[in-house]
Structure 1
Amino acid sequence: MPRARRSTRLTGGRTKYTNDPFEIAGVSDDSDTNQRKAARKQAAASDGSSDEEFEVANDDNQDDEEEDEEADDDEVEEEEGVASEDDNEEGPRKVAGPRRSKPATTPAFSMRYHKTQGTVSLPKEDTHSRGTYSSIDHMGKKVHLRTTFGTDERDLLSIVYARERWYRGVDSGFPTRASLNEALDLPDYGYGLSFGVEPEEMRRERTRGWDWYYDEGQGGRLRKRQRLRSIEEEAAYRVYMPAPKQKKHTVLMGPVDDQKTFSVGYHESMNFGDAFDEAKVREKAKPSGGSKGKDAGRKRKTREGWILNMGQKVQGMAWAPNQPGLTQYLAVVAPISKEEKERHPDPFTDHGAPAFRSSAPYPCALQLWMFKAEKDESLTKRIDLKFQPRLRMALCTKWGDLRRMAWCPMRRDPREEDDEDTLKTVGLLAGIWGDGYMRVLDVKLSRDPNKVEYYEVQSPVFEAKPPSTVCTCLTWLSPSDIAVGCANGFVAIWSIIPSQSPYPYFYQPIHSTYVLNLTSAYPTHAHLIATTSMDGETRLWSILDPYKDMVESNRMRVGSAHLSYSPMLQAFFSSDENDFARLLAVRRFFTTTAVARFQSTVSSLAPCSTWHPSTLYGCTNGAAVVTNPLRRLLHVKEKQWQQTWFTHEWARDEDPDSPGISRFHDGYRAESISLLRNMLGDRKMVNGVMMITIYEEKSHVTALCWNPNQTCAGWAAAGLGCGLIRVEDLAT
């Protein structure tokens, strides 16, 4: 028979020593308590509700709080109104009595009574309130949902839809193919697929929102601005692309106890499935025709995907949206080496710090690589490993390194004009170049899929630069509007539609110094923008009134350059100085929720997908980690799981002409890591001293991205500091 639990409370009265003159004079805390009770009743009466209604509202909140309190034994024992077991092991168990009020020494936040409508009834002595619940208050699940996502049924129905699809334990890390394929089968409650936005508004933006682009007046003038000059392949490789090494890149992949050696040359690709054993795919359900699925009984490799060699560090990477077919395009930027840049003189050397001024006009190339998906009846497609990835286009410039780039993510329905055009439209791509300008390119390809095109960009469809500063980051707000962060702390918003005024219609100081990153809460709250700065501040503000409608999160000692918004979760993702992944809900932006913990500094963050809630982080130790924070967002006491996609290690070779040796580790299990921010038991603490490991720059995961198209929503790409790119279908 197990031993009964014993209470740790002291029995009997406690000896108390005091020199309080008010208590000696007969002025005790009881009188203050009575005054506060009277003030609460008066406040409740002023709201038009009786004392009975006030007590009923408190009882409802108390029932919700008890749901959370039962899940934590430690908190239950600390409550004053719950009786504990008798000190005698064999004695009978006492029955819990009525709950008593907490003593007057309770912090001020616990004295506030919460109503079921989400408001706070304050006593008269309280002079300030944030207007919402405090994150340290105990609240029930219903109250937590209302304060996190709102009281509007559109917001609640959208998160209920996400919960039904992605709350399973198997989806705690990578998204499963079964859950991705349920997008068209499960009821969307009217707002699930539009993330709480009216479906009619989303439809108008996909159609009428792009009328200006197809208009012969505005769209025609925009397209005429872009001028491209065709160049030879030899000139593109010699001037604009990194010089290849004499030897190939050595790659070690496979199971830990049986890794195989591969060699990948410059601009070559390798199917790393050859390094793994075969695994039989589970037999799918029979379709309506009675025959088995295409993949029934077919053997596949344990891991399948591609490794590409770019020759230099992968600076940026992004999948092209609005590609519903089997062909997918990946935009990649690999700048030239430091030795090659020394050949070009820098005229701005004496003009201040490099980050706050324009750089030399270094040559750079934007590469567009083509991939194929398998033909399958399933909604979510796999990567076609029979099709070798190939370079489709190279857009060469002399504006410095392409530091940031982003495709226009707004959906666009296909039109007849697209088929009538002699060129195939890929999309609008905006970027920040080293000279400090923000430019937009209209990327189009020839109809011949076997042709490789090389162009020198002489002028884009749009370019802009604020005076006396440089652009640092950008994000799309609509099919025609772009927000840009600047080195002086300002944020500018331009419309790329041709007009007589070249100035931004919004240019306001949001931070006091360098803006590291910014992103919009599109489409749920398209007028809200979150920004991070070098001063460690993370702010959420409204374009309508950035001075009044602004809220700040916890300030960090080191600014975070990573920021992304998930419309499915209605929250922003970022990182902090302690190697934690943090989540900031739109309606609780002033608080931070840790959702993952890493062994090294965060070096990259993939833009959140609109088809699943999994978030992908890259670290300086070469690890790519994925996590699904939905369970923790809905209930803060849920265990948070994370899973490592792969770990990359790079080592130098004895030969100086060799690009080095890379080794990949795969097959990690999902794990639940403590997210407590305490120093006790920290892996970085050695003899009471915080240790920080510095890793090789070529081991870093420098770029990550999910495929934004629904048919390939499980595809992910990771760019490394050594120049390798790993593309894999992570839908299990």
Structure 2
Amino acid sequence: MPRPRRSNRASGARTKYIHDPFEAAGFLSDEEETSAAAPQPKKGKGEAKQVAADDSDDDFNMDDANEDDDDDDYNDNDVEMAIENEDEDEEEADYDDASVLEVDEGRRRKQPATTATPKPIKKRKPDGSLAVPGEETHSRGSWNPLEHVGKGVHLRVTFGTDERDILSIISARDRWYRGGDSTFPTRSSLDKSHEMPDYGYGKSFGLDPEDVKRESSRGWDWYYAEDVGQRFRKRQRVEKIDERKARPTYFPRPRGDHTILIGPVDDQKVFSLAQHDVLDFGEAWEEDASKPLKQEKQDGKRAGTKSEGRKKRKREGWVLNIGSKVQCMAWVPNQTGLTQYLSVVAPILPDQKEQYPDPYKDQGAPAFRPSAPYPSALQIWAFKAERAESLTQTIDMTFTPRLRLALCTDWGDLRRIAWCPMPRDPREEDDYDAQKNIGLLAGIWSDGWVRVVDVKLGRDPNQTEFYKLHSPVFEAKPPSTVCTSVTWLSPSDIAVGCANGFVAIWSIVPSKSSPAQPTPYFYHQLHSTWILNLASAYPTHPYIISTTSMDGETRLTSIIDHQKDTVSANRMRVGTPHLSYSPILHSFVSSDENDFARLLAVRRFFTSTAVARLPSMISAISTCSFWHPSILVGCTGGTVQATNPLRRMMHAKEKQWQQTWFQHEWARSPDDQGPGTSRFHDGYRAEHTSLVRNLASDPKLVNGTAVITVYDEETHVTVLSWNPNQLCAGWAAAGMGCGLVRVEDLALS
């Protein structure tokens, strides 16, 4: 039985989509006004079918899905019958030939029995860009990599189109894409990374390897030159002082022993740690508690056995008691020997600062003016690595860390420190000096000045030295403001952020005509207010700097042309002080205003990629390592977690794994005078964390309201740092607000 015919006439008014903004605003051209004023012809059957044909491109097909076999014949007969019956209505209507042909051809095409017409496939060129016809124009700053594009196109969009950038990120993928390196780096990957093929640019992060070698040698010629180098080193004046005079003045006042609980969760042990004492917390995991490690070490020495002969404990590391909040902390780079140095800064206590009058207290807010000349000290602690056949080495637990050097100053609190990270080849001139040179250190003091210190140590490793620093090798201060942050651009150039939103760049190389007050060769306003932090994209893009400010802006700026070559990331309500550059990922690591760590790729800085989520607000992000892509993130709740964001950068849908290093808890002492009690929890496994911002499933919701927990400052993780030297690339240090510093080798065996 033949089925009844159905009308294809549109049931209602045709939907019209306006693409012309002038037409949407009510402005018509002369031709459109003429056609609008002309009388409209009657709509015949042919026009109704034309409307139906046009609507079929964008609207749903109303035919039944089970009538696919008859659709073709039905549509052809319908069109022929409609054309034959076009008599009076079609004579009255004024159709053009193009419309009739369009109706005829549109009705004769096969109509798929689908609920919606699929979107047209965009034609692309081999490089991934849209293939636009010559008569059309297409302008876009950068196309969206979230579209369904190939892996090669995604790499070019995220990391660059130059083959050096692509080869360097592919080299990093081959090295660090295994499942064992999803959180902490494994020792096998660290040992074999130099043996794997780097495609010519993997080890140099996309740069020419010859340029990297040239910088490590010729880049330091000015320092060893007889004229420039001698004038540079003679600027620094130091005075050796007595330890009994330095400790009461430049160090925090002792407040008693700090109680520490550490060990297995069901059998934690209690230790008491005095100020500047160290604790081998591996003793808490010893199976034979009756025989401490010290006695085991002595027995091993008497028997003449090596340190490898003793049984390795489950966890090994050191805890230092600095005595006050850890303000700054960083490992010293360019150390190729077994001895490694950790620089730590802890300001004096508030009651000690009351002894020094503030001459600037009536000159505005404390953050925008110099502070009183408080005393402060830079502490350098020595650790030793255990000699082994492998490339990377563990911490030597038979060597007790000790304080090697204390640089004392009267310039206020030392708020920021930055060691010169550029590689530096050893030279014969280093052995001629009576002291050992360990590197150049740039610092920001609370009096508003930036200073560079040439740090040197005595040749006796068992001696602790105390020096009073009267004059550094370089110092500068912008007019009418104070310095807030500092980073290195090259072995001779430093960039400084200021409280007025300006960025200043100086060359520390002295010249014959240099004035007493050095003048920056770059001094421009990049933000509207206080700059929280800045970092350089060294070594891949040393001329590019990233800055964060109190106005919530995070910007990427080229110092070659700061007005044109600049881009901003998503603005936050609260500025973030965390910013570090990873040359392996070609991205900056930062945080948002809450508890997410994010990556900002240099090529796509205007978008961010979430890579970690912490249980509380982020308070510290580690400096990125040159030897592995893992990052450490600490929060106000005392938790430190590690993650490898490489998988997330390569494929957005990959699972992101996080693993907790430790969790720190702090409790106030009963009399409110002592340093309190700290407890460490260890032994966490790697977990997959959802990075979706969903308030409905947010664990911080209490009765439908988002709640933020406020922790004591002593619980916070204030500073995190990876060891920048390849020999000890798995070493990490964490500083807490209570004054404890934890050092451990995190490379997984």
TM-score range normalised by the length of the shorter chain: 0.7 to 0.9
Instruction: Give the C-alpha shift of residue 33 in structure 1.
Output: 11
TM-score, normalised to structure 1, is 0.84
CA separation in 2, counterparts of 1:32 and 1:616? 56
CA separation in 1, counterparts of 2:509 and 2:115? 63
2:142 paired residue number: 132
1:202 paired residue number: 212
Q: Is the 8 A contact 2:10 2:51 kept in 1?
A: no
Task: Choose from 662, 669, 694 the match for 1:653.
Answer: 669
Q: Is the 8 A contact 1:278 1:302 kept in 2?
A: no
Question: CA 1:29–1:455 in structure 2 vs 1: closer, same or farther (change >3 Å)?
Answer: farther
1:404 counterpart SS class: strand
2:458 paired residue number: 446
The residue type paired with residue 173 of structure 1 is T
Instruction: Give the C-alpha shift of residue 17 in structure 1.
Output: 7.7
CA separation in 1, counterparts of 2:559 and 2:685? 43
CA separation in 2, counterparts of 1:278 and 1:187? 43
1:489 paired residue number: 501
Whether 1:217 aligns to 2:233 is no
Which residues in structure 2 correspond to 1:437-516 (within 5 Å)? 437-499=449-511, 500-501=513-514, 502-516=518-532
CA separation in 2, counterparts of 1:232 and 1:13? 103
Question: CA 1:22–1:689 in structure 2 vs 1: closer, same or farther (change >3 Å)?
Answer: closer
1:250 paired residue number: 259
Larger mean Cα displacement after TM superposition, 149-158 or 712-721: 149-158
Question: CA 1:30–1:537 in structure 2 vs 1: closer, same or farther (change >3 Å)?
Answer: farther
The residue type paired with residue 746 of structure 2 is L
1:395 counterpart SS class: strand
Task: Choose from 228, 239, 249 the match for 1:229.
Answer: 239
Task: Choose from 571, 581, 595 the match for 2:611.
Answer: 595
CA separation in 2, counterparts of 1:328 and 1:22? 72
2:529 counterpart SS class: coil
Whether 1:350 aligns to 2:355 is no
Instruction: Give the C-alpha shift of residue 127 in structure 1.
Output: 7.1
The residue type paired with residue 715 of structure 1 is W
Instruction: Give the C-alpha shift of residue 183 in structure 1.
Output: 2.4
2:157 counterpart SS class: helix
Question: CA 1:295–1:128 in structure 2 vs 1: closer, same or farther (change >3 Å)?
Answer: farther
1:68 paired residue number: none
Unmatched segments (≥5 aa) in structure 2: 1-5, 18-42, 67-110, 289-304
Q: Is the 8 A contact 1:120 1:132 kept in 2?
A: no
Whether 1:173 aligns to 2:189 is no
Q: Is the 8 A contact 1:594 1:675 kept in 2?
A: yes
Question: CA 1:102–1:20 in structure 2 vs 1: closer, same or farther (change >3 Å)?
Answer: closer
Instruction: Give the C-alpha shift of residue 306 in structure 1.
Output: 0.3
Instruction: Give the C-alpha shift of residue 527 in structure 1.
Output: 1.0
Whether 1:529 aligns to 2:541 is no
1:284 paired residue number: none
1:393 paired residue number: 405
CA separation in 1, counterparts of 2:580 and 2:112? 48
2:273 paired residue number: 264
Q: Is the 8 A contact 2:594 2:618 kept in 1?
A: no
CA separation in 2, counterparts of 1:302 and 1:710? 24
Superposed CA deviations along residues 644-692 of structure 1, whole A, max 9, x for unmatched, are 1000000011133421000000001101111011212001111110100
Q: Percent identity?
A: 63
Instruction: Give the C-alpha shift of residue 353 in structure 1.
Output: 1.1
CA separation in 1, counterparts of 2:365 and 2:12? 62
1:372 paired residue number: 384
1:693 paired residue number: 709
Instruction: Give the C-alpha shift of residue 295 in structure 1.
Output: 8.3
The residue type paired with residue 540 of structure 2 is T
1:539 counterpart SS class: strand
Question: CA 1:119–1:21 in structure 2 vs 1: closer, same or farther (change >3 Å)?
Answer: closer
Question: CA 1:421–1:21 in structure 2 vs 1: closer, same or farther (change >3 Å)?
Answer: closer
Which residues in structure 2 correspond to 1:482-631 (within 5 Å)? 482-499=494-511, 500-501=513-514, 502-631=518-647
Instruction: Give the C-alpha shift of residue 377 in structure 1.
Output: 1.0
Which residues in structure 2 correspond to 1:18-57 (within 5 Å)? 19-20=13-14, 22=16
Task: Choose from 711, 721, 724 the match for 1:705.
Answer: 721
CA separation in 1, counterparts of 2:434 and 2:729? 29
Question: CA 1:128–1:29 in structure 2 vs 1: closer, same or farther (change >3 Å)?
Answer: farther
1:67 paired residue number: none
Instruction: Give the C-alpha shift of residue 149 in structure 1.
Output: 1.5
Question: CA 1:112–1:394 in structure 2 vs 1: closer, same or farther (change >3 Å)?
Answer: same
CA separation in 2, counterparts of 1:101 and 1:482? 62
2:603 counterpart SS class: helix
Task: Choose from 644, 648, 654 the match for 1:638.
Answer: 654
Larger Rg computed on CA atoms = 2
CA separation in 2, counterparts of 1:273 and 1:204? 43
CA separation in 1, counterparts of 2:688 and 2:377? 42
Which residues in structure 2 correspond to 1:285-296 (within 5 Å)? none
Instruction: Give the C-alpha shift of residue 103 in structure 1.
Output: 5.3
Q: Is the 8 A contact 2:183 2:657 kept in 1?
A: yes
CA separation in 2, counterparts of 1:152 and 1:654? 62
Task: Choose from 434, 439, 445 the match for 1:433.
Answer: 445
CA separation in 2, counterparts of 1:686 and 1:608? 36
Question: CA 1:13–1:176 in structure 2 vs 1: closer, same or farther (change >3 Å)?
Answer: farther
1:300 counterpart SS class: coil
CA separation in 2, counterparts of 1:348 and 1:102? 71
1:157 counterpart SS class: helix
Superposed CA deviations along residues 310-339 of structure 1, whole A, max 9, x for unmatched, are 000000000000100001111000000111
Q: Is the 8 A contact 1:539 1:552 kept in 2?
A: yes
1:179 counterpart SS class: helix
2:196 paired residue number: 186
Superposed CA deviations along residues 258-280 of structure 1, whole A, max 9, x for unmatched, are 0000011010001000001469x
The residue type paired with residue 433 of structure 1 is W
1:418 counterpart SS class: helix
1:588 counterpart SS class: coil
Superposed CA deviations along residues 498-535 of structure 1, whole A, max 9, x for unmatched, are 02342000011111111111111111111111111111
CA separation in 2, counterparts of 1:455 and 1:15? 95
Question: CA 1:419–1:297 in structure 2 vs 1: closer, same or farther (change >3 Å)?
Answer: closer
The residue type paired with residue 468 of structure 2 is E
Task: Choose from 663, 683, 686 the match for 1:670.
Answer: 686
Q: Is the 8 A contact 1:135 1:591 kept in 2?
A: no
Task: Choose from 335, 348, 353 the match for 1:341.
Answer: 353
Instruction: Give the C-alpha shift of residue 115 in structure 1.
Output: 2.2
CA separation in 1, counterparts of 2:136 and 2:392? 55
CA separation in 1, counterparts of 2:421 and 2:8? 66
The residue type paired with residue 239 of structure 1 is T
CA separation in 2, counterparts of 1:196 and 1:32? 52
Task: Choose from 328, 334, 339 the match for 1:322.
Answer: 334
In the comparison of the two structures, how many residue pairs are matched? 646
Q: CA RMSD in A?
A: 2.9
Whether 1:114 aligns to 2:124 is yes
Which residues in structure 2 correspond to 1:60-71 (within 5 Å)? none
Question: CA 1:217–1:32 in structure 2 vs 1: closer, same or farther (change >3 Å)?
Answer: farther
Q: Is the 8 A contact 2:420 2:442 kept in 1?
A: yes
The residue type paired with residue 137 of structure 1 is E
1:184 counterpart SS class: coil
Q: Is the 8 A contact 2:669 2:676 kept in 1?
A: yes
Instruction: Give the C-alpha shift of residue 364 in structure 1.
Output: 0.3
The residue type paired with residue 601 of structure 1 is M
Q: Is the 8 A contact 2:345 2:414 kept in 1?
A: yes
Instruction: Give the C-alpha shift of residue 227 in structure 1.
Output: 0.3
CA separation in 1, counterparts of 2:56 and 2:377? 72
2:102 paired residue number: none
